[in-house]
Structure 1
């Protein structure tokens, strides 16, 4: 089939069925936007876990002069002997404890200022307000309680924190966002399929005379089907373009704006993550449009 004929048929079809094509574009846009949101939420979870969750499983914070309200810190700042005792006890817990890193107050402040350099609160943090601590990596994160029970209340130890517990609400929210987006995306995909089927049937009905003539002159099934498939495909890809634009705007002005304000506890997704997700949206739009339209035409347009 000549390209000029196909282009002419598609253009005329789009002009005759503008409202139906626009509906397919909008429904595709919304469904693909939620699909993309779910993928981005999952990328955020993976990135956050890569930054913190899988690296450090526990923090053992040592006493400072301001922790005198804690029983184990009655003597004020942790002494050298107490600090070494904590290190010795951690070493005795191998192989459960696979790695131990000690950070002084000055190093802790430097880490904080580097991580949150854009935060307005950086200037108020100094070595006196930031405790020294041990970063502890465990071979089995589920056995954190053994660390907590062994060091909580130990002289020189202010408290023991499990980073998994600290970040659990954040990851739960992202997982819920991903699941919610997936559910809504699934419903919208179903709506897209139903609308595509309705559109194709309506367009086929309006062109029944033209299709009949093409049959009489011996046109092949592909020659008859392709204009219909092309119209739906164009509408779906247009929806993918709009969905990609919405996702970029959400990340660029929303998520990236939050990160630049210094409010992020972990590194947040950015424009590059959107670029990774976008090709999958176009692939999904292509597969959905072609498969739905072709199956519908084979069922309702007998050639």
Structure 2
């Protein structure tokens, strides 16, 4: 055990998680020869071959699998030890770079971030907004630590945890005449505002309309849910929005909110790299976001 170098162990773990030495080198911000040397030194210290190549993919040997089964526990123990020391010195909780959509940032994150700041006053939090594809790419590139985005998301390096369903609704000026059921056919005859193209929210709305046999050209496409709501309040048309954007208690009296028929939902998920090292702040942020599943 005294010969087990933690940096070498981490390099081995990342090689297996990423499937190659070159990909591991990029994630670890090392050269490929440096990563290869660290793995060889680890193999030498343990007197075992830990990695074998199957085609182009690096896979663990039986000995490597045995070591890998303990690596997460070792990593967690080390992280816990570092956290304990930090609490006794400067109380630091680290930095969290969070990515999400603009709607979730406005209507979902504030109480979560307030609770995190209360629990961890020294935690540095930065929030980046964008569409799912942009945020997922940033997580993959390790420029964002954790994301709360709309599914679908794909990536072999991701741990994806669905946490809540958000029902889409129609908002309209109270003076607009609407039938009992809001179907795609109904909206074909109305002036409609939608999110700008490119994100999962717009794609979801377009697919719902298409399933109803409607190819709708929106009156306007905007990138801000608040701008869409103001346009609707001004009487320019109606809009399809995520339900979280129009909470019942905060809906203006001059707007009406109606369910769609058939109902339409989007699913939000927490996305993080499988090989991401969780310090105290990131671990508590991950737990807070996953706790959304118990509230919705």
**TM tier, smaller:** under 0.3
Higher RCO structure, 1 or 2 (CA under 8 Å, sep 6+): 1
TM-score with structure 1 length normalisation? 0.24
Q: Greater Rg, structure 1 or structure 2?
A: 1
Task: Kindly indicate which of the two structures has a greater share of residues assigned to strand.
Answer: 2
